[in-house]
Amino acid sequence: KQEVTQIPAALSVPEGENLVLNCSFTDSAIYNLQWFRQDPGKGLTSLLLIQSSQREQTSGRLNASLDKSSGRSTLYIAASQPGDSATYLCAVKGGGFKTIFGAGTRLFVKA
Cα separation, 66 vs 88, whole angstroms? 16
User: From the list 36, 75, 80, 107, which residue makes contact with another protein (rule: CB under 8 A)?
Assistant: 36
Q: Which of 14, 60, 83, 96 binds another protein (CB under 8 A)?
A: 96
Tell me the C-alpha distance between 83 and 108, whole Å.
9
In this chain, which stretch among 39-47, 58-66, 67-75, 76-84 interacts with another protein, using CB under 8 A? 39-47
Residue 75's closest CA among 64, 83, 84, 60?
64
Instruction: Report the residue from 68, 104, 107, 109 that binds another protein according to the rule CB under 8 A.
Output: 104
54 φ, ψ (degrees, to nearest 5): -100, 160
Q: Is the peptide bond prior to 14 cis by the omega test (within 30 degrees of 0)?
A: no
By CB under 8 A, residue 71 contacts another protein: no
Which residue, 42 or 55, has its beta carbon nearer to another protein? 42
| Binding footprint of another protein on the chain (CB under 8 A) | 4, 31-32, 34, 36, 41-46, 49, 51, 89, 91, 93, 96-104
